[in-house]
Structure 1
Amino acid sequence: MKQSEPIFEDTRDTFWRTLQTFALTRMVIVAVLFGYFGWAGSKVVRYQQEFWTICVIYMALALVFVLLATYARRRFLLQVSVQIAVDLAAISLLYISVGGIKSGLAILYLFPLAGGAILAPLVLALFFVSIATLVMLAENGYQLLNANADISSSQAGLYGAAFFVVIFAINRLADRLIKQESLARGRGKALYVQQAINRLVIADMDDGVLVLDRKGRVLTSNPAAARMLGLTFPHEKTYGKLSDMVWLTPIAEAYAAWSANAGLHATTQGQSQAKPTFVLLKHNEQSTLQGGTTIWGGRRELAARLKLRFARADTAGVQEERVVVFLQDVTEIENQAQQLKLASMGRLTASIAHEVRNPLSAIGHAASLLSEDETEAARQRMLKIITDNVARLNRMIEDILKLSRKAHQYKEPLALAPLLEDIVNELRETRAAKDGVIAIVDLAPHRVRFDPLHLREIILNLLTNALRYASGAPGSIRVEIVAGAGHRLELHICDDGPQISATVRAHLFEPFYTTSSKGTGLGLYLARELCLNNGAMLNYEYRSEGENSSPSGRFVITFAADDVA
């Protein structure tokens, strides 16, 4: 067999195991010869004494070869050559002692010749075939010289030709298998190294990685994902379904929505990658790591905002589909961005208050005086534009200045129901809100510790926005007080207006971001900051009213855990 030199100097277990099998098979063959010819006795064996002596020596050498292949793994090709040479010598002696070609023992040559074809180069294997063929031809010629009429001169030649063909075919097949094994070993080593690198990179990366099956079971995760989601790492078995872990419900809902949009049925890897989804995980009594350590600390004790991206693993031809979820904690990023914007606005506030507010008041007052004496419609329209924009700029300045107001620590809890009723009455008077449009659900005597002026400002802002987009039908705006997870009281405000798109939701609480030409973009940002100043959290979430109802968007104010009275 034409092979490169390192193949035969290689001491890989595969080659030595094959040689061990070869040696053990030799012992089995000798044992069969003992049994068969011991039973047949003198009816078959011509030289019995010589026959049994050869078998005993052959069995002893076979045992030695097994021990050498097991415990003396050196000089592989030398051991193969010696074993085959002994096989040929022993089989030739047995072949001659039993009667030559008519005994049928010529088939025993196939055992060492096939072993040589598998374990030795092609030239050496053909050399062994030549020796076996010459022995059979010599024994056949000797029988013909002794005028043995039972001997056919063609049988030995046919055996030899058949051995050449068979050994050549076995050698080529073995050569191909060895090359494929070498290639597989090389690729296996490269794959092992790559897997080690991937494990190191994934374990050290800050972004979380979850692997899910088709049913939404969490199969594995990296340490970052375990920290974000409150999972144990490393784990010994499947975590379970996302939907079974209460605090991971937002991720389960996002996965279900992605799956419903043909995410699992995409034909290509590129098509399976959905747009990023933002979810909010709220801390509760279940979302703790082993040992009682909470997932979030500091300001993040209330919630963590995660950016999710789903991608279906390309497993063509494999039934088990896998989905990889990439998680990024954007809470700190958003907080840092907001702090930078706050710092910029802080430096700007003083100049706005002193340099802009007074001139703006003068402009507004002058426009008001001009409008009293102006009768021309075109001029009145121009003055109205000036007045409206002055009011808009003044409102923006007021919103910015409100950010500097800090919450006072009120010892007496604030009753929510009277405050909500008072705000609704105020909206009826100032915003002409119709009776019944704003429905307050569950007017139980809930109390919270919150700055009354701040909470009024927040709720007024949210309800004013709701009045702008709601249909105006009775009950089109709902204000509901519910007990949330982790013993936290929640205030829900929802309306029947159009749902907020994912693009707008991503920037909903950013300062100066607005979709209205009349808005300043500070209302929701101001509301969230005021909530944070009072130890609460404001978010836009999707919730279901019941098991059979579809989720609807709503603003949710989550009060601190000790606010419930």
Structure 2
Amino acid sequence: MTAVLTGFEAPDARAVSIRYFNLYRIVVASAFAIFGGVLSFGQKAPDVFIVAVVAYWVMAFTFFLLHAGSPHYGERTLGLQAALDIIVLAMFMYASGGYRSGVPFLMMTSIAGSGLIGQGRMVLGAASLATIAVLIDQAARMLSGERTTEDLPQAAIVCIGFFAVAIVARMLARRALANEALARERGLDLARQLRVNARIIEDMQEGVVVVDERGRIRQANPRAAELLGVRLDVGSALSACVPALEAGAVLHVETDFCVHIQNEQTGASLQVRRLATGEGADLLFYVEDTERVLARARQMKLAALGRLTANIAHEIRNPLSSISHAGELLLEEKRGEVQQRLVRIIHDNTARIERIVRDVLELGRRDRLTSERLELGQFCRTFLEEYALQHADVMTLVVLDVPQEVWVNFDRVHLYQILSNLLGNARRYCCGQPGSIHLNVQRLDEARGLFTIRDDGPGIPSEDRSKVFEPFFTSDPKGTGLGLYMARELAEANAADLSLLDAAGGAEFHLIVRRLHEQ
């Protein structure tokens, strides 16, 4: 199945407006023809009124038919239509007794309509033509004695109304033009973005299905249909195509989730991740072959292992060279004090290699964990007592703050190793005064607990902060550079998160662990 983006061409707004305006003319002409006599229109000049009604109706119907045949015709004749509107309505006004007949209000409607539809280009001309018509009619009636000069102010107010309507229509038309240009630009941007998104989804190696709020498929790429082994037609219900995904095809399921299903045809195991794009918006389903996901994870693990092995070989080569060179010198050297110094070099470098090998072995056992329920306060107190057997000063250096019980699910050996590495770093770089290191345990929220280990040392330089968790990165000449790297790996193996915080002074590490309810 091919991903398809469906759309439609919006009808031209001006063409629709011109069509409605022509229909309005037909309605006005028909109303004059049917109800003109009842409403006392045309009594002053019945012959002129009848001619005007017939001419207006024929003109309106002709314009309506011509525009229906070619929408562009209406665009070219807008000015002519507006002028004929004013002229015919002026004949109605003359035949019905002048501006007091109310016909000028229909002129205002024509002026406003021509201004909005014509985008303000001809509105002032229409207002001027209507003003001339009213003034000529008023002058003719004054010459015949039918009107006096007392009627001039009222006629002038009507003419001012023409220009007021024209100016407002022009301003609205300019605003409409600006909005139309902005909407057209945004529409083009959106169309381009939709084409790009469609192409990206089309070429993705993962299966992608987009579902609307009713659970119906809006879009799907060929890979999704191939993995699921079903047709994914746009508009069909996802639950009907893939019954196993019925629970995730509705928007009231608030949280994102991941499920494993099976292709009934091939028997392949599939991983489906469901993501909500926002409240009331579409849902995204990512479909992946579980074997492919595992193969990719194995490939990444092998790549990481290759880099780690290369680093180990490099790190071991240096102390081995020192040991070899010291051994050769030891065979030649007869002085006792020099022999002792060479033996010490051999011992130190051998110990360094032993630490590297031990850390790598511990890292290799990261996946063999035994989770158990631990109360962090009691665990930390026991840990400090055991740690103090090797480093007696730790009991005065460390301030332990455990305000409440926090139970977690963690591998005891892994947690001991993580705290040993963090406390060893803090002890190495702190000022060495009582209370230089703070170890705090607290509840972070309903589901997580937080370890905070902070020292009062010089802190970690900003250029090194992004590299502290990389293997074999260390500022200590005697260190292996695997401590923090191994601590983070062991934390991730227990679904925990170890991070370095941006602290004002010293170094501050946070270990976020899963919290259990107290029993």
TM, length-normalised to structure 1: 0.48
Q: Report the CA distance between 1:76 and its aligned residue.
A: 1.7
Pair 398,423 (structure 1): closer, same or farther in 2 beyond 3 Å: farther
Mapped to 1, the partners of 2:330 and 2:385 lie a distance apart of 30
Q: Report the CA distance between 1:236 and its aligned residue.
A: 6.0
Q: Which amino acid aligns with 1:519?
A: G
Q: Report the CA distance between 1:19 and its aligned residue.
A: 2.0
Pair 68,351 (structure 1): closer, same or farther in 2 beyond 3 Å: same
> C-alpha deviations, 1:500-525, integer Å up to 9, x for none?
75956633333342244553434444
Match in the other structure for 1:22: 21
Q: Report the CA distance between 1:46 and its aligned residue.
A: 3.2
1:232 to 259, 274, 286: 274
Mapped to 2, the partners of 1:422 and 1:139 lie a distance apart of 108
Q: Report the CA distance between 1:15 and its aligned residue.
A: 1.9
Mapped to 2, the partners of 1:178 and 1:95 lie a distance apart of 32
Please tell me whether the aligned partners of residues 113 and 128 of structure 1 are also in contact (alpha carbons under 8 angstroms).
yes
Match in the other structure for 2:313: 346
Mapped to 2, the partners of 1:128 and 1:19 lie a distance apart of 19
Q: Report the CA distance between 1:183 and its aligned residue.
A: 3.8
Mapped to 1, the partners of 2:305 and 2:357 lie a distance apart of 16
1:396 to 352, 355, 358: 352
Mapped to 2, the partners of 1:496 and 1:124 lie a distance apart of 76
Match in the other structure for 1:359: 325
Mapped to 1, the partners of 2:34 and 2:132 lie a distance apart of 27
2:467 to 498, 507, 513: 507
Matched, 1:540 2:508: no
Please tell me whether the aligned partners of residues 493 and 554 of structure 1 are also in contact (alpha carbons under 8 angstroms).
yes
Mapped to 2, the partners of 1:152 and 1:415 lie a distance apart of 107
Mapped to 1, the partners of 2:28 and 2:145 lie a distance apart of 31
Q: Report the CA distance between 1:343 and its aligned residue.
A: 1.4
Pair 359,90 (structure 1): closer, same or farther in 2 beyond 3 Å: closer
Q: Which amino acid aligns with 1:507?
A: K
> C-alpha deviations, 1:201-221, integer Å up to 9, x for none?
998999xxxxxxxxxxxxxxx
Give the length in aligned residue pairs: 414
Mapped to 1, the partners of 2:297 and 2:348 lie a distance apart of 34
> C-alpha deviations, 1:400-434, integer Å up to 9, x for none?
444675969999989999xx999988865654467
Please tell me whether the aligned partners of residues 479 and 494 of structure 1 are also in contact (alpha carbons under 8 angstroms).
yes
Pair 59,400 (structure 1): closer, same or farther in 2 beyond 3 Å: same
Please tell me whether the aligned partners of residues 46 and 98 of structure 1 are also in contact (alpha carbons under 8 angstroms).
yes
Please tell me whether the aligned partners of residues 414 and 448 of structure 1 are also in contact (alpha carbons under 8 angstroms).
yes
Q: SS at the partner of 1:75?
A: helix
Mapped to 1, the partners of 2:429 and 2:277 lie a distance apart of 48
Mapped to 2, the partners of 1:424 and 1:163 lie a distance apart of 91
Pair 390,27 (structure 1): closer, same or farther in 2 beyond 3 Å: same
Mapped to 2, the partners of 1:422 and 1:365 lie a distance apart of 48
Please tell me whether the aligned partners of residues 34 and 55 of structure 1 are also in contact (alpha carbons under 8 angstroms).
yes
Pair 119,397 (structure 1): closer, same or farther in 2 beyond 3 Å: closer
Q: SS at the partner of 1:233?
A: strand
Q: Report the CA distance between 1:195 and its aligned residue.
A: 4.5
Pair 528,342 (structure 1): closer, same or farther in 2 beyond 3 Å: farther
Q: Report the CA distance between 1:75 and its aligned residue.
A: 0.7
Mapped to 1, the partners of 2:333 and 2:496 lie a distance apart of 39
Please tell me whether the aligned partners of residues 113 and 129 of structure 1 are also in contact (alpha carbons under 8 angstroms).
no
Q: Which amino acid aligns with 1:14?
A: A
Mapped to 2, the partners of 1:77 and 1:554 lie a distance apart of 70
> C-alpha deviations, 1:357-379, integer Å up to 9, x for none?
23335668999964499xxxxxx
Pairing 1:64-103 to 2, within 5 Å after superposition: 65=63, 69=67, 72-81=70-79, 83-84=81-82, 86-88=84-86, 90-100=88-98
Pair 527,101 (structure 1): closer, same or farther in 2 beyond 3 Å: closer
Q: Report the CA distance between 1:105 and its aligned residue.
A: 4.2
> C-alpha deviations, 1:256-299, integer Å up to 9, x for none?
xxxxxxxxxxxxxxxxxxxxxxxxxxxxxxxx988997998579
Q: SS at the partner of 2:43?
A: coil
Pair 107,140 (structure 1): closer, same or farther in 2 beyond 3 Å: farther
Q: Report the CA distance between 1:237 and its aligned residue.
A: 2.5
Pair 194,387 (structure 1): closer, same or farther in 2 beyond 3 Å: farther
Structure 2 gaps, min length 5: 1-9, 206-255, 259-271, 375-379, 502-507, 515-519
Q: Report the CA distance between 1:91 and its aligned residue.
A: 2.6
Mapped to 2, the partners of 1:409 and 1:94 lie a distance apart of 96
Please tell me whether the aligned partners of residues 108 and 162 of structure 2 are also in contact (alpha carbons under 8 angstroms).
no
Pair 60,75 (structure 1): closer, same or farther in 2 beyond 3 Å: closer
Q: Report the CA distance between 1:397 and its aligned residue.
A: 3.0
Structure 1 gaps, min length 5: 1-10, 207-224, 240-287, 302-330, 374-382, 544-551, 559-565
TM, length-normalised to structure 2: 0.51
Kindly report the root-mean-square deviation, in angstroms, between the aligned alpha carbons of the 2 structures: 6.9
